[in-house]
DNA sequence: GTTCGTTGTGTCCATGCCGATACAACGACG
DNA sequence: CGTCGTTGTATCGGCATGGACACAACGAAC
């Protein structure tokens, strides 16, 4: 699935870098026992459900019935029975989805929706160096201050390494500065005081850029209702917070070997 | 990239449904002008940076040098100059990455890390019906109460439709019940009072299941530090919250046509 | 028993992608 | 000028994937 860097509910554009380096996209899949269930398979299952037969589904999709049946067999070897098939014509034959198939489709839809949200979310990028490592957690010294972030994956940055910390706008929570809870009372450990510089209202969501003293703005996505309750406008003082678990650290050394 | 439903920093397993329906996976890519930059392209650029030449990079990767050069030309037509090449041998020839290439790689790495986090995060699924729509926002009546969630994508559920609301554990914030901020003071609008039923400590993160009165637990991922500050243990009363913008709504009618 | 339209199985063919190979040109170095 | 190892360009062959087609078997409905 391709997004244009703009989830319908999100603000424009992917990365922060100068120049146009394309829209974020992904292909979602579920993998089991060497078989990969992808969007094409999901379309086949949906068509089977709608048409009531593999034959009708293949025709609807412009696909080979023989290949469709073969593909179903491969998927069923890995994921269990997906399509209950009965031979016979007129009203005697046909196919219907099993409960497992519906569950698989629902899970695939949720995965796709979640990945679409992630790919389409405006990201904020903190650049800095790793000051400390605690297991998967890294403390990164950035221009805006210290950022606690998850450093998982390969290669794992070590202390001193230059890194980028990325957080999606949908993971950033905004607070009224006068009523921000004490640090002990919540698990959202990264918090920055700043000024809202851009407040862009959509149908149901508001895109906010918060100047937190770093090179680029920290971007947040909040509902219209939340923005109203916070009295958000350009120039408003706000406190922006996000959980360390909602961030990701990546090394910036392009030459590093990734296996 | 395939995950086993278990981000190194996250708790076990993907969906909530019974039965094993595989690990969430994805292929990340960046798309511009009809060209798609994917993991294989990223590997090529990294190898070029490491080897200092397209020739050496192709050999290192077991790939055709002719194809590699052709692929670079295709990518450069869409993304701009990526590799500065100079003919000549011994010390006269070779290739190096441009600044645009490094920026592209960094963005691809952040996208991959973010998608990996999403794919690997333990999800909580609320099942219910759409009570109200406000643009991209849906209010869903679920067992645990009313949930405000983003309903983007196709098809968009309408009022009355049965849906699932999915939220990743990395987006769920836990609060001390005694010090939870008033609803007006924060943009995290979904909040549920519950009891921590499972607290599983990892190196740097803690996986918490919170019983909020729905069928399944609401899962949260917090840092060890945050868990300590909250005094988290099985049996603790907590307040769990997440932003509407961090959720996604999907229709559950498997037969629905998706175009 | 016949009809209808399905499933099940097997085979053939086309297409796209990628690795391999070859030749020419280049340019720093000795 | 020769060497070395790179880039640039062109072509060939193999492999995997997927559509097409054919035939047999099936089973509800009439």
What confidence tens digit (pLDDT) does each residue in B29-87 have? 999 988 999 999 999 999 999 999 999 999 999 999 999 999 999 999 999 999 999 99
A30-116 CATH = 1.10.10.10
Fold topology of B123-251: OB fold (Dihydrolipoamide Acetyltransferase, E2P) (2.40.50)
Query: Which A positions 125-184 lie with beta carbon below 8 A of chain B?
Result: 125, 134-137, 148, 150, 152-153, 164, 166, 168-171, 173-176, 178-184
Within 13 Å and on the Cβ side, how many CA atoms surround A128?
Answer: 23
Structure-token match 């309750």, residue found: A229
Domains in chain A: boundaries: 30-116, 122-251
Note if the bond before B155 is cis, omega within 30 degrees: yes
Where is A54: in which H helix or E strand?
A: helix A54-61
Tell me whether B52 touches chain A (CB under 8 Å): no
Q: In this complex, do A114 and B118 lie within 8 Å of one another by their Cβ atoms?
A: yes
The strand ranges marked E within B20-122 are 23-32, 35-37, 83-86, 94-97
Q: By C-alpha distance, which of B63, B237, B245, B213 is closest to B145?
A: B213
Q: Strand pairing partners for B176?
A: none
Q: Fold match between A30-116 and A122-251?
A: no
pLDDT at B181: 66
Q: Which residue has the higher pLDDT, B126 or B257?
A: B126
- Quick check: B55 CB within 7 A of strand D? yes
- The CATH code of domain A122-251 reads 2.40.50.100
The yes-or-no verdict on residue A9 having pLDDT over 70 is: no
CA distances from A63 to A50, B49, B237 (A): 15, 42, 54
What pLDDT, on a 0 to 100 scale, did the predictor assign at position A100? 94
Average pLDDT over chain B reads: 86
Instruction: Tell me which residue of A168, A171, A160, A169 sits closest to A138, measured CA to CA.
Output: A160
pLDDT of residue A182: 67
> Is A98 an 8 Å CB contact of chain B?
no
pLDDT digits 0-9 by tens, A54-101 = 999 999 999 999 999 999 999 999 999 999 999 988 788 899 999 999
Q: Give the residue with greater pLDDT, A248 vs B6.
A: A248
Cα A10 to Cα B188: distance, rounded to the nearest angstrom:
16
What is the CATH code for B30-117?
A: 1.10.10.10
Q: What is the pLDDT of residues B197-235, one digit of tens each?
A: 999 998 889 999 999 988 889 999 999 988 998 899 999
Residue A23 has a pLDDT of 93
For residue B243, pLDDT beyond 50: yes
């Amino acid at each position: 699935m391709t997004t244009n860097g703009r989830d319908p509910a999100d603000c424009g554009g992917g990365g922060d870098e100068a120049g146009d380096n394309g829209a974020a996209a992904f292909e979602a899949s579920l993998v089991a026992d060497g078989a990969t269930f992808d969007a094409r398979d999901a379309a086949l299952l949906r068509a089977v459900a709608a048409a009531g037969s593999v034959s009708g589904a293949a025709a609807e999709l412009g696909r080979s019935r023989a290949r469709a049946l073969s593909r179903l067999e491969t998927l069923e070897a890995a994921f269990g029975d997906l399509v209950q098939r009965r031979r016979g014509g007129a009203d005697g034959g046909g196919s219907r989805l099993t409960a497992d198939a519906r569950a698989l489709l629902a899970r695939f839809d949720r995965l796709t929706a979640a990945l679409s949200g992630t790919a389409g979310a405006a990201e904020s990028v903190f650049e800095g160096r790793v000051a400390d490592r605690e297991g998967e957690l890294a403390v990164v010294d950035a221009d805006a201050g210290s950022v606690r972030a998850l450093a998982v994956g390969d290669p794992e940055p070590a202390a001193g390494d230059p890194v980028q910390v990325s957080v999606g706008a949908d993971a950033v929570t905004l607070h009224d500065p006068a009523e921000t809870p004490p640090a002990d009372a919540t698990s959202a450990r990264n918090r920055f005081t700043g000024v809202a510089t851009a407040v862009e209202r959509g149908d149901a969501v508001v895109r906010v850029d918060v100047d937190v003293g770093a090179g680029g703005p920290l971007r947040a996505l909040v509902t219209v209702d939340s923005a109203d309750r916070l009295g958000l406008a350009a120039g408003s003082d706000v406190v922006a917070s996000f959980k360390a678990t909602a961030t990701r650290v990546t090394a910036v050394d392009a030459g590093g070997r990734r296996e």
